[in-house]
Amino acid sequence: MRRTFTPSGLVIALLGFVLTRYTITFAHAEASTAFVVGGIVPLVLGLSLSVCGVALAIGSFETWYVRTIAQWTVLGAGVIGLLIVATVYGGPSSFAEDVRTIGIFSNVLIGGSVGGALTGVYAAQNKAAQRKLLNRQNRLVILNRLLHDRVMNAVTVIKGSAPLLRDGADTGLESVDAILEKAESIEAVMGSVHDLTEPGAGAERQPVDVPEAVETALQQARERHPDATFVAQSLPSDLLAYANHRLADVVGQLLKNGAEHAGVEAPRVAVALDTTPDTATISVSDEGPGLPDKNREALENGTTISERGDPTAGLGLYLVRLFVHTFRGSVHTEVTDAGTTVSITLERVSESAAPADSSLVGVAPARLGATALSGLIAGVVMGAYMHVTTGVVPVIGALYGTKSLLVGVLTHEFHSLVFALIYAGLLTLLPRWWQTTWIGTAGVGTAWGAVLWLVAGGLVMPIWLNLVGIATPVPNLNPNSLLAHLLWGTVLAVGVQVSRRWFVS
């Protein structure tokens, strides 16, 4: 469940980078001035699209969100591409020659991709708003049903039992027990109502002892359903997953559902706890006839509750879905001839996990922005040093079509941005000490700079330069270049630490 990147973001990054390759290919034969004037805008747009793709790939964005933007980006490029192909095919041959000469094709494709990406952002934001409204609607419906079904039912029992006490009937003790039971039921319901309407600090996503929550749920289920048999495998110790104080209630609701809907006098409900390095899965299996399709759909997909006819049917399962959604977990159901199994998968807490207040895996958007700014500053420092000592910055521009200082600066900053974002992603894979201390962050930064000197500067760049017609030895491991890359990594690390401590919570 814990991921380090979203592949759909890499599709956007790759598309932007490939389109700039074609821009350079078509514009390479033009004069340098013409390329700077006519190629800077599409070059910047294409490289910016690549940077955004990398940010989406490593950022703490939900998979569907990134996928939506990627789909619209590809669609935008595809539609514009089809229009240009149709125009070229049906137009005069001189127009086709102009397209090949001045790079209109790739430039317009970049524009289509950027337009598609912006449309994708709007579509993803709209979809997120719809999901939020659906979740809020479901919470209000559940609140209404809790108050009308559970609370009013408890009040009816209390009102029926109280007169027996007043009249001194022989059933006094039974009436007292009924009143106490329903009073506890009201208290529990009001706790759920509070979490649904005004979730506080206790309802936030945080590390929870999973075996302890399961044991609590089992104990309560055995007390409330003495005729049922609840069995559990040997539960591991010290297993933490991201949830909140409602995890025991969620498991208890599944146990209650299995005991009450089994259809036999002595139902048997089994609990299993499976783990992977990244997840913890709680599975509750019963011998009942199986969940109706509408309840399975509500559990797994969170469909609109108000569409259901019976106001009391599946109410507990809807609560399960909403609370698991709060945990940022997932629910899976399996119905066989032997019964029904409902599994809840949660993100497991590990030593290298982010702080407990991090509700999404990946790099938070605020830290992405801070890292990008640090990467730009580090790129300026490195570029200034390289230009003063070796004058190599214009050569970087040759990788993108022309040996120009302006193009060299722009593309160098692009490289710095991308590699800085990758650095932020690498930090999330390391233990917390490396992410939060000056020494740890600087160590990773300088090590990353050394790797880039060896791979990007020593191998990839000289090969690339040879491909565009500039003779360069391979490998090209220049000591001054190593110093420049180490300087870049150090400045980047300092910027990340400064932003973490003073600007990004």
Give the pLDDT confidence score for residue 356 in this predicted structure. Answer: 41
For 270-319, what is each residue's pLDDT tens digit? 999 988 888 899 999 988 777 777 777 767 765 555 444 444 455 677 77
Q: Is the pTM of this model over 0.75?
A: no
Give the pLDDT confidence score for residue 232 in this predicted structure. Answer: 87
For 276-286, what is each residue's pLDDT tens digit? 888 899 999 98
Q: What mean pLDDT do residues 131-148 have?
A: 68
Distance between CA 391 and CA 444 in Å, rounded? Answer: 28
Give the pLDDT confidence score for residue 72 in this predicted structure. Answer: 95
Q: Which of 70-79, 100-109, 373-382, 403-412 has the lowest mean pLDDT?
A: 100-109
Q: 219 or 37, which is more confident?
A: 219
291 φ, ψ (degrees, to nearest 5): -75, 140
Give the pLDDT confidence score for residue 435 in this predicted structure. Answer: 83
Q: What mean pLDDT do residues 62-76 have?
A: 92
- Nearest CA among 331, 249, 274, 254 for reference residue 297: 331
Say how far residue 189 (Cα) sits from the centre of its chain: 32
Q: What mean pLDDT do residues 402-409 have?
A: 82
For 26-61, what is each residue's pLDDT tens digit? 555 455 555 655 677 888 888 899 999 999 998 888
Q: Is the pLDDT of residue 479 over 80?
A: yes
Give the pLDDT confidence score for residue 287 in this predicted structure. Answer: 83
Give the pLDDT confidence score for residue 279 in this predicted structure. Answer: 87
Distance between CA 430 and CA 440 in Å, rounded? Answer: 10
Residue type for position 297: E
Q: 159 or 410, which is more confident?
A: 410
CB of 17 within 8 A of CB of 9? no
Q: 446 or 465, which is more confident?
A: 446
CB of 297 within 8 A of CB of 133? no
Distance between CA 500 and CA 505 in Å, rounded? Answer: 7
Give the pLDDT confidence score for residue 210 in this predicted structure. Answer: 92
Give the pLDDT confidence score for residue 246 in this predicted structure. Answer: 84
Give the pLDDT confidence score for residue 357 in this predicted structure. Answer: 40
Residue 350's CB is within 10 A of a number of other CB atoms, namely 12
Give the pLDDT confidence score for residue 177 in this predicted structure. Answer: 65
Q: Is the pLDDT of residue 358 over 50?
A: no
- Taking all residues of the chain, what is their mean pLDDT, rounded to a whole number? 79
Q: Could you tell me where the DSSP H helices lie in 146-209?
A: 152-167, 172-197
Q: Which of 95-104, 242-251, 409-418, 469-478 has the lowest mean pLDDT?
A: 95-104
Q: What mean pLDDT do residues 120-147 have?
A: 76
Q: What mean pLDDT do residues 485-495 have?
A: 95
Burial 270-307 (b: 16+ CB within 10 A, else e): bbbbeeeeebbbbbbbbbbebbeeebbebbeebbebee
State the pLDDT confidence band at 349, using cuts at 50, 70 and 90. confident
Q: Which of 356-365, 392-401, 486-495 has the lowest mean pLDDT?
A: 356-365
Distance between CA 349 and CA 279 in Å, rounded? Answer: 8
Q: Is the pLDDT of residue 411 over 50?
A: yes
Q: Which of 167-176, 253-262, 390-399, 427-436 has the lowest mean pLDDT?
A: 167-176
Q: How far is CA 142 from CA 110, 124, 208, 313, 432, in A?
A: 47, 27, 25, 11, 39
Give the pLDDT confidence score for residue 489 in this predicted structure. Answer: 95
Q: 496 or 165, which is more confident?
A: 496
- Give percent above pLDDT 70 in the chain: 72
